[in-house]
Structure 1
Amino acid sequence: MNATSPASARRADLLAAGAATVTVVLWASAFVSIRSAGAAYSPGALALGRLLAGSVALGAICLVRREGWPPRAAWRGIAISGLLWFGFYMVVLNWGEQQVDAGTAALVVNIGPILIALLGSRLLGDAMPPRLLAGMAVSFAGAVAVGLSMSGEGGSSVLGVVLCLLAAVGYAAGVVAQKPALGRASALQVTTFGCLVGTVACLPFAGQLVHDVAHAPATATLNVLYLGVFPTALAFTTWAYALARTTASRMGATTYAVPALVVAMSWLFLDEVPALLTLAGGALCLAGVAVSRSRPRPKAFSGAETRTTSPRPPVDNRATRD
């Protein structure tokens, strides 16, 4: 009998939750680094530089661990997620954030988890429990509050909104495509080769990257390297590890913690004091994530249930009488 013990199941849940926490913290830090590097790097060059750094880091880890090539059955999901999430999403998001203010970008991009839930339910058969839906609604309300409080700090355009919308669609489709691949290959394999696919897709920006590296300040280039090693190589691997152990919908809801962490990091590292509405929105984001990740308590068995669920068969006394 190979039943998993409660202690082992609890340990696996804790590891998955820890991996998801690492992911959202590093992805939140990415927004601060992108803001710094984006002044010196064009959207395509920034994406390619980040992916190159991530591919080198992931490739080195794969060689040390002797991971090898993913099975053929996993390549469809790896290729789709690599093109849509690692490649398309990063370029379009970098471009969109140059066209709209941070608040508008946050509002539009945060429809991504909702799209993940809808696509996951339709294509993967993910359950949509009431707690998940309620938590996502609360978190999205928080994201709206954060976005509204940050709006008006920069320019805005229809093109920028469309680009951010496309980024959200690419992100959602990439996550849903990645989920089946994780059932056939390891989290490290799926992340490494997805990152390589995205790097190849962004190679047309190689000339711009060379130009930007030659003219960018050292701090901007260090931010690009940071984005590649930590929010890409490490955070995408921990994401894949956690995603392999839960549904795409539940993992998508977890990313609603990112806006709250971005507010805190901007306050801490950039001296951007948030407004009361921003703080309230961040608190709602975290509360919604807590609701979406919670599970209903198991029902206690009562004595009446025990007596009625297993009725005894009638006793035949004929043998005694005979």
Structure 2
Amino acid sequence: MDHVIKQILAPHAPEHEDHHHQQLQYFLQQAKETGKPAPTAVVHPVDTNSLRGAIDAAEEGLIDPVIIGPEHKIRQVAEEADINLANYRICSTEHSHAAAEMAVELARNGEVHALMKGSLGTSELLGAVVNKQKGLLTERRLSHVFVLDVPSYHKSLLVSDAAINIVPDLMVKRDILQNVIDCAHALGVAMPKVAILSAVEKVKANIQSTLDAAALCKMADRGQITGAIVDGPLAFDNAISAEAAQAKHINSPVPGDVDILMVPNLESGNILAKQLQYLAGAKSAGIVMGARVPIILTSRAAKPLERLSSCAVAVLVARKLGRLL
């Protein structure tokens, strides 16, 4: 009887355990096979996870790391974790803030084509990136993209923005949407299908996210957002399930085949991405778009596949930007 109850409560557990996350593996293979490793500034990797993640990516042929931070701390971590740094360039700095500034300078000079966060705070790294005089700003706002490999879904799901812009207004959402569309293009999705998420699928004056969704769709119609099929507002069930959309009489090519889920705000996006990771067995890559170079941004709890996949996505984006051959 106990085994029957377990099957009822967790019918998909075996599928998740056996899932090999082929979508992330595919991006890894693409990044390794279609060009050279990306020169990458690894910023302040003074803990085992971040340093090993960078060296693993280098050994896989994804990145050519320039390791930046206090050299004595980096070498101490390497010695304790049995990591061989003999073949890698180390640029010593006094502290993490200086490491972030040096990494940004190397990117401005074209010496590196991507940045990789080590064990410093995200805000500290991005603070150097957004410096108006010495940073890596473009005409776009920075935004984060989760590239999720969900065992129960038939292709990759890109979720944005779940890490940087807390309560974006309409024009910031326009940048977030174009950034994630550009990321999808770099991953080989020629015309991604986008769902602008809200709690409901109808435009309602008292729910701002539905008004923003309607405006974004019209902006896509008028060429202010390009390169995707955009629909919204859509509730999560209507975006993921064609059957749920049909029940609500939604006639659209997006439901059931969506590539990009654009969330209303950081909180909802962060909760959604982590629910998929911890309850649906998803693995994710994480990258920041909108700067002059892609920025590899992973959680300190990220597993090896997730760190490698984030590097792979950054390499593919750098190539799309014309940074790599």
Point out the structure with the larger strand share.
2
Point out the structure with the larger helix share.
1
What TM-score comes out, normalization by structure 2 length? 0.23
Q: Which structure has more RCO (C-alpha within 8 Å, separation ≥ 6)? A: 1
**Rg comparison, structure with higher value:** 1
What TM-score comes out, normalization by structure 1 length? 0.23
